Amino acid sequence: MPVVKSRREQYSEATRAALIAAATRRFATDGYAATGLEDVAADIQATRGAVYHHFSSKKALFEAVLEVLEGQSTERIGSAYRAAPDRWAGAMAALDAFLDQCLDPVYSRVVWREGPIAMGWHGWHQTEQKYAYGTITLILGEMLADGLLAPMPLRSLADVAFSAIGAAGHGLAEAAPTDQTRLRAEYRDVLIRMITGLRGDAEQTAT
Amino acid sequence: MPVVKSRREQYSEATRAALIAAATRRFATDGYAATGLEDVAADIQATRGAVYHHFSSKKALFEAVLEVLEGQSTERIGSAYRAAPDRWAGAMAALDAFLDQCLDPVYSRVVWREGPIAMGWHGWHQTEQKYAYGTITLILGEMLADGLLAPMPLRSLADVAFSAIGAAGHGLAEAAPTDQTRLRAEYRDVLIRMITGLRGDAEQTAT
DNA sequence: CTTACTGGCATACACTGCGTATGTAACCAA
DNA sequence: TTGGTTACATACGCAGTGTATGCCAGTAAG
């Protein structure tokens, strides 16, 4: 395996990257369904042939786009979590990082709105196990292990939490830019109250 | 307007209802994308012409299906809420009714999984304001007004709660029938803990 | 330098499925 | 019975995906 790539390989990689970039823009602005592969190809002065050479299907192209976006995002959120002094602060930092991430309209639209549409709910959810859903599960699992949260089944907890946090991110992304600062604080408040309700020391009076 | 309908009208209504029923089954088992209007029509020994006579588009057919399902469901959940002695018990009853509803695979798949795919997230969410989302907003609004929950913006709260509850219903619907009883209790527990965290008397220590 | 080969992409075609335009027969009203 | 309307069927256009094939630049071997 040559360590330095041939010109052909470099060109090929460049077009592949350009296709992913163009597809990202199209999917983010027009949505998955309304984006034709013709459009994507035209954006980089190529034809659909190029697309089908690099990706086996439209869905596969979307998956490549999603992996890039989620890879970056998960990295950011994860490092915010790890940088914090303790688990609780880490969870808060991760939440903040996530909400910040959702202020990027490309991220929120492609990952959270188009994702399930393009890949089907199952496929999307499965992919998410490597990224946002997986991160949330990890954090909650450690909080449970440390006794920060009352004992409860991780899977069910993660399902609900993932969806709740996603809704906040989604609502944030949809909002007008002028409202985003206020809304971000609101969602944050609601989510933190909810998480606090799950703490090990929180008394439960309800049936 | 004749109070007794002509035979033509009766026949027409019957086929319309049959189309909705057939479409409901198809959408629930094969999903929106994989269902062709040809299939739906064939199921009732008709052609696509009949479909396009009664509905302006595939999406419109789906909306009709969704309205029927959500109408029934919202009615059940609402009456469970109203039958309870007080607001808190009402909220619990509504939650129970919703989780029960999600045990119906048709309801959960069509409304919660295919809905956003078929109508786009916006269209779906907008329609939901008449049904599940609207009901949740109503209940939470009354709880806020009664001081049962700590003061917080209704809209953000409803967004997060709607999504959290939806995730529970969704997870429940996906599960193997043997696990559903256990899972139902798990989700219920998690959700009630979260709601309890929002109560007016819950102390908050987090930042 | 030539030759043979491979990889990257373009072109052309098949197929599916939605939507629309047009046809037709049953029904109803005058 | 006749004229019009309603409920559907039939036929067509069109968009968009996927596939099969062709072509040319780039690379490697002799």
CB of B120 under 7 A from strand C? no
**Spatial CA neighbour of B112 closest among A124, A111, A121:** A121
What's domain B65-196's architecture? Answer: Orthogonal Bundle (1.10)
- Partner A contacted by B85 (CB < 8 A): no
- pLDDT band, very low/low/confident/very high, at B1 (cuts 50, 70, 90): very low
Residue holding tokens 């709880």? B143
Q: Which residues from chain B sit within 8 angstroms of residue A179, using beta carbons?
A: none
* Domain boundaries B1-55, CATH class: mainly alpha
- Partner A contacted by B186 (CB < 8 A): yes
- Partner A contacted by B164 (CB < 8 A): yes
Task: Fill in the amino acid letter for A140.
Answer: L
Provide the residue-wise pLDDT of chain A in tens; the chain has 207 residues: 445 667 767 888 899 999 999 999 999 999 999 999 999 999 999 999 999 999 999 999 999 999 999 999 999 999 999 999 999 999 999 999 999 999 999 999 999 999 999 999 899 999 999 999 999 999 999 999 999 999 999 999 999 999 999 999 999 999 999 999 999 999 999 999 999 999 977 555 555
CB of B49 under 7 A from strand C? yes
Residue holding tokens 């909650």? A140
User: Tell me, what's the pLDDT at B111?
Assistant: 96
Q: Is A164's CB within 8 Å of B166's CB?
A: no
- Partner B contacted by A196 (CB < 8 A): yes
Element (H, E) at A13: helix A7-30
Q: Which residue of B has its CA nearest to A96?
A: B207
Q: In whole angstroms, how large is the CA radius of gyration of chain A?
A: 20
Q: Which of A117, A159, A204 sits opposite B167 (nearest CB)?
A: A159
Answer whether residue B5 shows pLDDT above 70.
Answer: no
In chain B, CATH 1.10.10.60 covers 1-55
Higher pLDDT, B153 or B205: B153
Q: Which residues from chain B sit within 8 angstroms of residue A161, using beta carbons?
A: 164
Report the C-alpha gap between B157 and B140 in whole angstroms. 8
Q: How far is the CA of B107 from the C1' of D15 (A)?
A: 32
**Backbone dihedral region for residue A62 (phi beyond 0: left; psi -120 to 50: alpha; all else: beta):** alpha
User: Tell me, what's the pLDDT at A202?
Assistant: 59
pLDDT tens-digit map of A3-27: 566 776 788 889 999 999 999 999 9
pLDDT tens-digit map of B72-84: 999 999 999 999 9
